[in-house]
Amino acid sequence: MALPHWTPQNLLPPGRHQADLADVYERLVFDAPHQNDREILFSALNSYLGVARRVMSSGRAWIGGAFVTRTSHPPRGLDVVLLPDEWGALKRLDDGGRTALYGLLTLRGVIVGQPAMYLEQVQPVGGMLDGFLCRPGDEDVWETVWAEGGKGFPEMVW
């Protein structure tokens, strides 16, 4: 299902729009300015979702941020919120699965050792993407944030 055309305000129409990677590419890369910048972000998104699918056997991803707007400025990044179908499966992940899951998430206020340092923020895919995990029951909160200002956003299901 193709994503709808841009509104006069250079946004997707309000609401969640079912999409696959081809739809996202067509509307948010091919049909938007700054294609080279968008190509890089799309590649980051594609890789990110590949890992998410390995960690979560089924779920949804909502795509947001400047990537889903059609502005005269190149988008600097994109946002993804992951909505797993089975929360319990995430709780049962082994060490490798948990490590992969944590690698998908934006972390704030991180302290690492050897050498010890404080990092204000750690982001997936070299900082091109902010990744978040929606807890069960928080879908309405995330949808309100993603739709702020009358923006629409793609929803990808696997």
Q: pLDDT at position 154, please?
A: 98
Residue 92 falls inside a structural domain: yes
Q: pLDDT at position 118, please?
A: 67
Residue 2 falls inside a structural domain: no
| Per-residue pLDDT of the chain in tens (158 residues, 90 and over written 9) | 699 999 999 999 999 999 999 999 999 999 999 999 999 999 999 999 999 999 999 999 999 999 999 999 999 999 999 999 999 999 999 999 999 999 999 887 767 777 777 667 678 887 789 999 999 999 999 999 999 989 999 999 99
Q: Count Cβ neighbours within 10 Å for each residue of 37-65 and write b for 16 or more, e otherwise.
A: bbebbbebbeebbebbeebbeebbbbbbb
Q: pLDDT at position 119, please?
A: 65
Cβ of 150: how many Cβ atoms within 10 Å? 12
Q: Which of 98, 78, 80, 90 is nearest to 136 (CA)?
A: 90
pTM for this prediction: 0.90
List residues bridging with 79 in a β-sheet: 64, 130
Find the domain containing 76 and state its range: 15-157
Residue 7 falls inside a structural domain: no
Residue 20 falls inside a structural domain: yes
Q: pLDDT at position 58, please?
A: 96
Residue 87 falls inside a structural domain: yes
Residue 3 falls inside a structural domain: no
Cβ of 106: how many Cβ atoms within 10 Å? 16
Q: pLDDT at position 84, please?
A: 97
Cβ of 7: how many Cβ atoms within 10 Å? 14
Whichever domain contains 88, its CATH number is 3.30.460
Amino acid in the structure at residue 62: W
Q: pLDDT at position 110, please?
A: 61
The span from the CA of 123 to the CA of 57, in Å, is 23
Quote the number of domains for the chain. Answer: 1
In the numeric block, which tokens belong to residue 110?
A: 């991180």
Residue 104 falls inside a structural domain: yes
Residue 4 falls inside a structural domain: no
